[in-house]
């Protein structure tokens, strides 16, 4: 028999995914039959998740991501709570195998440094400041005040909050979209170490599984 206590614990952050919705939350209580999650002290008139609905739970631990199948067994209105059946099986995958999943990237404003790479020249110092509006294991989106040519190569350096030490790799401009006087730019990563890619993916997954104040408000299933 699987020791479920090894995987699911009280106050553990996780993401619950359904066919038409997903939300981040954390476990409030757990017993031998089910575990319960709740909203962040927010009273909501009704939860539009039906009893018996099949769901999927996802959480991370160190360098692995875990997922399991479950279903809704109980719901309460005030305060809002959902109870889920304990899984019969928990599946483990290494973070680097999850690059193209729903955890592939997150929106936000993540500062980084960059420098154009000239053919035949080494990049000694990264002097330009950028802000990533979206980042994943394979690419990032940024906003530029300058028009950048498609195919241009940049040296990129990212540090906090992803890593306590700088991560340096290269990115090639894959797509450019004008927006007023600005340009939305997509950079695809090149020559990045798998260890560094795993740190970026872990950051993305941590952001997605953090408990959100209005988690239950995001449920839209009818």
Is pTM beyond 0.75 here? no
pLDDT digits (tens, 9 = 90+) for 198-220: 888 878 877 776 644 444 444 43
Q: Which of 218, 209, 216, 205 shows the shortest CA–CA distance to 105?
A: 205
Architecture of the domain delimited by 105-205: Beta Barrel (2.40)
**Is 72 or 221 the better-scoring residue by pLDDT?**
72
pLDDT digits (tens, 9 = 90+) for 147-197: 788 999 999 998 878 888 888 899 999 999 887 778 889 999 988 888 888
Q: Which CATH number fits domain 4-96+213-218: 3.20.20.140, 2.30.110.10, 2.60.120.620, 2.60.120.10?
A: 2.30.110.10
User: Domain-by-domain residue ranges, the chain?
Assistant: 4-96+213-218, 105-205
**Topology match between the domains 4-96+213-218 and 105-205:** no
Binned at pLDDT 50, 70 and 90, residue 222 comes out as very low
Q: Which of 42-51, 60-69, 137-146, 199-208 has the lowest mean pLDDT?
A: 42-51
């Amino acid at each position: 028999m699987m020791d479920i206590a090894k995987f699911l614990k009280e106050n553990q952050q996780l993401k619950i995914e359904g066919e038409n919705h997903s939300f981040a939350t954390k476990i409030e209580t757990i017993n031998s039959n089910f575990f319960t999650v709740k909203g962040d002290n927010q009273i909501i008139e009704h939860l539009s998740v039906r009893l018996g609905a099949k769901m999927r739970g996802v959480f991370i631990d160190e360098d692995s991501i875990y997922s399991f199948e479950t279903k809704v067994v109980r719901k309460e209105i005030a305060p809002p709570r959902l109870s889920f059946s304990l899984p019969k099986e928990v599946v483990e995958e290494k973070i680097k195998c999850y690059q193209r999943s729903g955890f592939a990237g997150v929106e936000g404003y993540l500062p980084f440094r960059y420098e154009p790479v000239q053919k035949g020249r080494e990049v000694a110092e990264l002097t330009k400041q950028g802000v990533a509006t979206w980042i994943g294991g394979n690419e990032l989106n940024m906003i530029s005040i300058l028009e950048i040519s498609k195919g241009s190569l940049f040296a990129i350096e990212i540090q906090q909050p992803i890593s306590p030490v700088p991560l340096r790799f290269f990115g090639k401009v894959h797509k450019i979209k004008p927006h007023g006087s600005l340009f939305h730019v997509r950079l695809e990563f090149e020559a990045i170490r798998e260890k560094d890619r795993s740190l970026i993916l872990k950051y993305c997954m941590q952001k997605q599984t953090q408990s959100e104040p209005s988690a239950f408000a995001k449920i839209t299933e009818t």
